[in-house]
Amino acid sequence: MELIARARSWAAQDPDPADRAEIEALVGAARAGDAAAEAELADRFTGCLTFGTAGLRGPLRAGPNGMNHAVVRRAAAGLATWLTAAGARGTARVGEGTGPPAVVIGFDARRRSDAFALDSARVFAGAGLRALVLPGPLPTPVLAFAVRRLGAAAGVMVTASHNPATDNGYKVYLGGPAGAPASGAQLVAPADAQIEAAIAAAPPPMAIPLADTWTRLGDDVVAAYVTEAAATLAPATAPAGLRIAYTPLHGVGLGVLRRVFAAAGLPEPAAVAEQAEPDPDFPTAPFPNPEEPGAMDRVLALGEAIGADVVLANDPDADRLAVAVGRRVLTGDELGLLLADEVLRRAPGPVATTVVSSTALRALAARRGVGCSETLTGFKWIMRADPALVFGYEEALGYATRPDLVRDKDGLTAAVAIARIAAAEAARGRGLLDRLDDLARELGVAATEQVSLRVDDLAASTALLRRLRADPPDEIAGLPVAAVRDLLAPTGADERLPRSDVLIFSLAGGARAVVRPSGTEPKLKIYLEATEPVSADGDLASARARSAERLAGLVRWARSLGQTAGRPPSPTPPAP
């Protein structure tokens, strides 16, 4: 009865008639003894979506533990309260005078994204802020660009990125003084906890003031992004006949990518017809993440059919990029190394990656005489690694080739960069794989793989980390453990990183194993790397065979951890 009372109280304040009806139907079924309806109510009303460093993300459904109008209005109200209390001010490039802080709102083509964006705009306007809504469904990088371009105090992007069609989300970017390194980057602690507290203190949705004084922006900001993005790694001339296959995976990437490529003088990519237009149902890609098995099957087939020099795939909000040559899909680490090499040829400066990404970027930076920072996973950290950052990446297909333009990962500028690298290599009768071979001869072969172990619950993954801390291995897959870095108890250079449940095992011969729990799913993630130098005669085949053999052993070890996940740590032996 307490659960039903909580559901009815929420429904009474829900501004959306369809959501109210959804709750009342569940309440009626639960009262009639429907166990499934009662379980569904419990799932929706015994918790709520947590506002973390990525904002909100969850299933589209009524109730506090879902993405809906009531949750979005309270999130916008909490953010507005925080911005006002903090005295946040933009640089007022929009409108006359300094005025109140501006918030830019963007949205993709998922279900209810446009409605949630409008809800947010009306709440921000009702709170006395300047609410600026992008002109239509657009990629996330355009929103991140707009925050910096317009000198806004904050930006909101309504998207669930590469989640399934059943989800939506609410990502928040913070502004800052003009030219500030973190302006336009995703928020970090303590802002996330402060905003979450403001959301919890927000009034019921029906009591939140709304206003229709928000502004719909024109195409100017999109056109400015197109012009700037087209200049990525310019100048370069694409050879006649360069062929590119592309898919936006039913997302919003194609329209802007076509404009950027045209402005850059690059040939228009051939797009997968059945995935070209935005479709919130993602009919051919139920898990629209280029990393998912099968997600790129159609674009790989298109690339094969047209004899493409390079194959490109964005995720639905176009902040990530996957690349293939023929049927060979490059790893995120390979693509990161290619991009970093080209950026450093043109603009030497500090670079950054995450502790779970390959060590090859560090080796490249050392050879080029530039600094390289390691951060925790997430672009919110990468973008804060160095004020003068020229490039950053994470192995999960995220790349910042223009951190001066977008302080986040950007799958569109990365696509321009890769197309220009491919064009330069094609003009020499070569391809991207030849460029990777050059880097392997210079830096050595670095073979990487990620193993995800699904466990019973989040507690099981943290229990395994405790066991590894209490009883660390002396060797892994036959390779002696040379050092262990524990980011929960950091020492030395790691002390500058926020504490995090991550263990890094450095192994003999340059191999590595990084273990961390997933922050959102009952999974343990293990990132493996095996490196091998290339002999003086340039025998890549032998080096790759040796690194592949070592990597296979590491993978077997990682999978064996799944058999012990959740087991209590070994007891500490008594002191002698």
Which element (helix H / strand E) includes 416?
A: helix 411-427
d(Cα 90, Cα 102) in Å, to the nearest integer?
7
374 forms beta bridges with 353
Cβ count within 10 A of residue 398:
25
Beta strand ranges found along 355-425 (DSSP E): 372-375, 391-394, 398-400
394 forms beta bridges with 398
Q: Give one DSSP letter per residue of 152-202, joined into a string.
A: -SEEEEE--TTS-TTEEEEEEEE--STT-TTTTEEP-TTHHHHHHHHHHTS
Q: Give one DSSP letter per residue of 523-537, joined into a string.
A: EEEEEEEEEEPPPTT
d(Cα 248, Cα 321) in Å, to the nearest integer?
10
**Phi, psi for 449 (deg, rounded to 5):** -160, 145
Joined together, the tokens standing for residue 462 give 């943290």
Class of residue 362 by CB neighbours under 10 A (exposed 0-12, middle 13-18, buried 19+): middle
Q: Are 351 and 340 in contact (CB under 8 A)?
A: yes
Of 504, 544, 505, 559, nearest in space to 334 by CA = 544
Which element (helix H / strand E) includes 103?
A: strand 102-107
Q: Are 139 and 411 in contact (CB under 8 A)?
A: yes
Type of residue found at 407: R
Catalytic status, residue 161: yes
The catalytic residue among 161, 183, 373, 461 is 161
d(Cα 186, Cα 379) in Å, to the nearest integer?
7
Active-site annotation, residues: 161
